[in-house]
A and B are shown apart, each in its own frame.
Chain A
Amino acid sequence: MDVFGSFALILAFVCALYAFGGGIAAIITRHPLLIKSARQSGMATCGLIFVSTLSLVYLFFSDNYSVAYVVSHSNRDLSTFFKVAALWSGQEGSLLFWSFLLAIYVFSVLFTYRNKNGELMPYVGVILAGVQLFFLTISNFVASPFKVLAVAKASGAFDLVARADGNGLNPVLQYPEMVIHPPNLYSGYTGFTIPFAFALAALLARYPGEKWIHLTRKWTMIAWCFQSMGILLGAHWAYAVLGWGGYWGWDPVENASLLPWLTGTAFLHSVMMQEKRGMMKVWNVWLVFVTFMLCILGTLLTRSGVVSSVHAFAQSSIGNWFVGFLCIVLGVCLAAYFKNRDYLKSENQLDSLVSRESSFLFNNLVLLVACVAVLSGTLFPVFSEWFTGSRISVGAPFFNKVNIPLGLLLIFLTGVGPLLAWRKTSTESLLRNFKWPSIWGLLAGGTALVFGIREMFALVCLVLCAFVASTIVQEFYRGAKVVRIRSGASWLTSCVDLTLRNTRRYGGYIVHFGMVMIFIGLAGQAFNKEVEKELPIGSTVKIGNYDLLLQSMDQKQEKNYVADRMIVEVLKNDKPVMMLYPERRNFPTNQESGTMVAIYSTLREDLYVVYAGMNPQTGLPTVHAFINPLVKWVWWGGMVVVMGTIVALLPNRAALVVLAKSESPVSTPELSGMRPAQVTLREGHD
């Protein structure tokens, strides 16, 4: 099966090479058969990558310990569930997995548009094949997951060998989140290839710029949604597994996943400027280019070891390949832009400074500043080493100080933006839209002050969150009121009806509401507290209102590990609340151990208990406990963000077909210079 997988991977490389070369020839000659064969070759590439990936999964399932990658990342006792995750637990497998996810996207695009967009698709096919070609080159010739174990004989020949068992999977990866976090994050990274390919193709094909936005909107949102889920699942994994009490440490690898998310978010907002007003075309094209390049840079940072990272399990010298690829991508983007930039001219003017357009500009500014600040902070230790010879550390406090004000500015704009009308907002409209949200914001701030909250950022965050939440509630209230008057339905039904009639707008509001919840959760970090203590059996440790009573210790034998457990009774205000079982797992196969945190989670706070190990001198177990307020809001907020994105992806209900029809003349050439159509210019609407 290893030969089969390896052969499929080589064939995939050959097919991608044809899709790339044949595609370029097809663009030049415009020969229909050549176009078709290049497209089908692209599809075949995807099929072969599927086959190759499934072969590797089969090698894990069949415990084939003649393959080096399987030996390094699996063992016989590993559960089936984690044997799937072992696929992306190391360098070679995760790169193949990257190709696999990209292949799903590429196949979907090539198949969906096989009879559409005849002029544009050959360009898209070539760009996608180019990206696939790069990853297939790596998987075939640099980091092959199908290398077999062999011993050299005296004659110089090699004998294939097989081990009886593997080394096992890294213990910290043996958690359910690790089965779903990387696929989500990688789906985000790879997903941004699609809007990139369409944007570059549109530029190369000299398309004036609106169409690729329509074509790629849903692909961008899917990628963004996966990226968001991936980041949050990674944060949850770090929180639930690593036992340090936090979920975001500004580690370079974490930062690398945030960078394309920031530019992707900026893009999702600025496309509206292009769709509604025909503005920011150059900006949008470059935002997509940069987002894709940041995805590649993210991989470079993760894999190369150029910056120190706690994610030390996936480093190698493969980074040079990514630097080369990044340079090529940048070169192609620059060349295409300078050659055809005149097709990206804006069509409209800015009518007023107090308008949706301005809010989008500032939204993009803040997101981009945050992105560049995180990027330069991440790379600063490298710069400092180049310039001064010593590596200056840039840790979490720096990133917090820089990004908290930017985050607050962003959440403020989240509230303000949707309430401003396109083109110009009247003073009356400003007063009408902002009166109640401002009152609720101030009320929330007053309440927080009464309850003794003095931490400035947390206070401001709370005020802004209340402000933004009430702007969203107000928008739903106003819309539902109109629906209700007409239909007589209940408030809930009216809200659902309203949402389904304009999924993009109200889905967007739901996403914003999720972001508000996440920010409430982030504000809670200002009130974290922790205690670490050696605890004899029968004694207690106090943290906040909780007393943790160590009742006993025990040992649990599982198939793949032995767990030492603390049995801890939690008392709140002297009343028993629940039992917690924090444990340390020892994996005999690879002589490694890991924590299993016990968390008592409520909307108000998390009680987070870690068994931090046994002190060999005293023979006493150490408990490390944290109280982390409002953490649950982050996870629930994430779920709301995903829900909102799904809603925004749904097609609008029939009522909106009328609206869509009334919008359609806007795209005709005669009216393209007068894009601000009447239908789209209602105040406070998207």
Chain B
Amino acid sequence: MKNRKAKLGVLIFSALTVLAPHRALADQNDRAHQIGAKLKCMCGGCDQSAAKCYHVGGSYSGPCDTAKQEIKEIDAQIAQGKNDEQVLQAMIAEYGPLAYVEPPKSGFGLVAWLMPILYLVTGTGLVIVIMRRWRKRPAAMAGSPVAAAAGGGVPASVQVTPELLARARELARRETEE
């Protein structure tokens, strides 16, 4: 049994070895495209990055001409010996702050970044509140008939007691098959 587990371990280890991409690959990324990924394609028809803009239905399918031109400009800046940040700033100076492909972390752009956090915090809070209420439920539900319209031809003024709800459920069960 032990031997089998060891074999399985070796097998999975070998599989991971084959699958694990080498660290070196990440270092060879083209700098111009890396910088281009932070800048917007300025063609005006999309919100894609200069490194990945691909228009469907245009005269040129594949990286769009505007994006390609921007990458060429970045290449030229790199050739001048500038570092990544300097290249980025030079491009922003040319195209304006809206050339960033992601919202700025200041002003109204900050709202975009705060929204997902707000959703997560609010959602988690809601889940916690719901869980607390569910844990207390039996006491809350006992003997508290629900005021509402009732089904199956019962007048709207009648209260929906647990018995009535059970009857409606039974009715639904009988009326539906499968």
Residues of A participating in the B interface, judged by any CB pair closer than 8 Å: 116-120, 170-172, 202, 205-208, 210-211, 214-215, 238, 241-246, 249, 251-252, 279, 307-313, 339-343, 345-346, 348-351, 353, 357-358, 361-362, 365, 368-369, 372-373, 376-377, 380-381, 383-384, 387-388, 390-398, 401-402, 440, 443-444, 447-448, 451-455, 520, 524, 526-532, 543-544, 591-595, 603-605, 610, 612-613, 624, 627, 629-630, 667-670, 672-673
Q: Kindly identify which residue among B28, B47, B63, B149 contacts A393, using a CB–CB cutoff of 8 Å.
A: B47
Cβ of B2 within 8 Å of any chain A Cβ, yes or no, is no
- In the complex, what residue of chain A is closest to B136 when comparing beta carbons? A349
Q: Which residues of B contact A532 (CB under 8 A)?
A: 30, 33, 71
CA distance A271 to B93 in the complex (A): 53
- Nearest-neighbour CB distance to chain B for A96, whole angstroms, equals 20
Cβ of B82 within 8 Å of any chain A Cβ, yes or no, is no
CA distance A93 to B4 in the complex (A): 59
Do B33 and A310 have beta carbons less than 8 Å apart?
A: no
- Nearest-neighbour CB distance to chain A for B58, whole angstroms, equals 7
Do B102 and A206 have beta carbons less than 8 Å apart?
A: no
Given contacts A377-B116, A393-B40, 13 further A-B contacts (CB under 8 A): A116-B177, A206-B149, A243-B63, A311-B57, A312-B58, A381-B47, A394-B102, A396-B49, A397-B37, A443-B12, A452-B22, A595-B62, A604-B21
Q: Kindly identify which residue among B17, B53, B136, B146 contacts A451, using a CB–CB cutoff of 8 Å.
A: B17
Do B131 and A350 have beta carbons less than 8 Å apart?
A: yes
CA distance A669 to B170 in the complex (A): 6
Q: Which residues of A contact B16 (CB under 8 A)?
A: 444, 447-448, 451
CA distance A167 to B177 in the complex (A): 52
Cβ of B18 within 8 Å of any chain A Cβ, yes or no, is yes
Do B172 and A243 have beta carbons less than 8 Å apart?
A: no
Do A120 and B100 have beta carbons less than 8 Å apart?
A: no
CA distance A520 to B15 in the complex (A): 13
Do A350 and B101 have beta carbons less than 8 Å apart?
A: no
Do A342 and B146 have beta carbons less than 8 Å apart?
A: yes
Q: Kindly identify which residue among A116, A358, A396, A605 contacts B52, using a CB–CB cutoff of 8 Å.
A: A396
Q: Which residues of B contact A528 (CB under 8 A)?
A: 29
Do A398 and B119 have beta carbons less than 8 Å apart?
A: no
Of B21, B40, B148, B169, most buried by chain A (CB within 10 Å of CB) is: B21
Cβ of B81 within 8 Å of any chain A Cβ, yes or no, is no
- In the complex, what residue of chain A is closest to B57 when comparing beta carbons? A313
Cβ of B26 within 8 Å of any chain A Cβ, yes or no, is yes
Q: Kindly identify which residue among A342, A353, A369, A443 contacts B116, using a CB–CB cutoff of 8 Å.
A: A369
Residues of B participating in the A interface, judged by any CB pair closer than 8 Å: 9, 12-13, 16-26, 28-30, 33, 37-38, 40, 44-49, 52-63, 71, 98, 100-104, 107-109, 111-113, 115-116, 119-120, 123-124, 126-127, 130-131, 134-138, 141, 146-152, 160, 162, 165-170, 172-173, 175-178
Do B30 and A171 have beta carbons less than 8 Å apart?
A: no
Do B48 and A395 have beta carbons less than 8 Å apart?
A: yes
Q: Which residues of B contact A592 (CB under 8 A)?
A: 59, 61
Interface of A is mostly: mixed
Do B162 and A673 have beta carbons less than 8 Å apart?
A: yes
- Nearest-neighbour CB distance to chain A for B174, whole angstroms, equals 9
Q: Which residues of B contact A396 (CB under 8 A)?
A: 37, 48-49, 52, 101
Q: Which residues of B contact A245 (CB under 8 A)?
A: 52
Q: Which residues of A contact B19 (CB under 8 A)?
A: 520, 603-604, 630
Do B21 and A605 have beta carbons less than 8 Å apart?
A: yes
- Nearest-neighbour CB distance to chain A for B171, whole angstroms, equals 8
CA distance A595 to B54 in the complex (A): 11
Q: Which residues of A contact B56 (CB under 8 A)?
A: 170, 172, 242, 310-313
CA distance A70 to B87 in the complex (A): 49
Do B167 and A447 have beta carbons less than 8 Å apart?
A: no
Do B54 and A210 have beta carbons less than 8 Å apart?
A: no
Contact flag A394-B60 (CB < 8 Å), given A310-B54, A453-B21: no
Contact flag A207-B21 (CB < 8 Å), given A394-B112, A448-B16: no
CA distance A524 to B19 in the complex (A): 10
Contact flag A349-B178 (CB < 8 Å), given A244-B52, A313-B56: no
CA distance A251 to B115 in the complex (A): 19
Q: Which residues of B contact A670 (CB under 8 A)?
A: 166
- In the complex, what residue of chain B is closest to A218 when comparing beta carbons? B178
Among all A-B residue pairs, the 3 with the closest Cβ atoms:
A206-B151, A342-B148, A452-B23
Do B30 and A310 have beta carbons less than 8 Å apart?
A: no
CA distance A243 to B64 in the complex (A): 11
Q: Kindly identify which residue among B38, B55, B119, B148 contacts A369, using a CB–CB cutoff of 8 Å.
A: B119
Q: Which residues of B contact A380 (CB under 8 A)?
A: 103, 111-112, 115
CA distance A383 to B107 in the complex (A): 13
CA distance A215 to B177 in the complex (A): 8
Of B60, B135, B146, most buried by chain A (CB within 10 Å of CB) is: B60
- Nearest-neighbour CB distance to chain B for A118, whole angstroms, equals 6
CA distance A447 to B147 in the complex (A): 61
Do B120 and A369 have beta carbons less than 8 Å apart?
A: yes
Do B115 and A206 have beta carbons less than 8 Å apart?
A: no
- Nearest-neighbour CB distance to chain A for B152, whole angstroms, equals 7
CA distance A668 to B173 in the complex (A): 8
- Nearest-neighbour CB distance to chain A for B141, whole angstroms, equals 8
Do B120 and A120 have beta carbons less than 8 Å apart?
A: no
Do B25 and A527 have beta carbons less than 8 Å apart?
A: yes
Q: Kindly identify which residue among B49, B58, B60, B124 contacts A395, using a CB–CB cutoff of 8 Å.
A: B49
Do B149 and A249 have beta carbons less than 8 Å apart?
A: no
CA distance A401 to B117 in the complex (A): 12
- Nearest-neighbour CB distance to chain A for B103, whole angstroms, equals 5
Jot down 8 A-B pairs with beta carbons below 8 A, ordered by A.
Answer: A206-B149, A310-B53, A346-B137, A349-B134, A384-B112, A394-B103, A440-B12, A668-B170
CA distance A241 to B130 in the complex (A): 47
Do B59 and A593 have beta carbons less than 8 Å apart?
A: yes
CA distance A85 to B56 in the complex (A): 16
Do A593 and B61 have beta carbons less than 8 Å apart?
A: yes
Do A310 and B22 have beta carbons less than 8 Å apart?
A: no
- In the complex, what residue of chain A is closest to B172 when comparing beta carbons? A207
Q: Which residues of B contact A339 (CB under 8 A)?
A: 149
Do B62 and A395 have beta carbons less than 8 Å apart?
A: no
- In the complex, what residue of chain B is closest to A238 when comparing beta carbons? B54
Do A215 and B172 have beta carbons less than 8 Å apart?
A: no
Q: Which residues of B contact A451 (CB under 8 A)?
A: 16-17, 20, 22-23
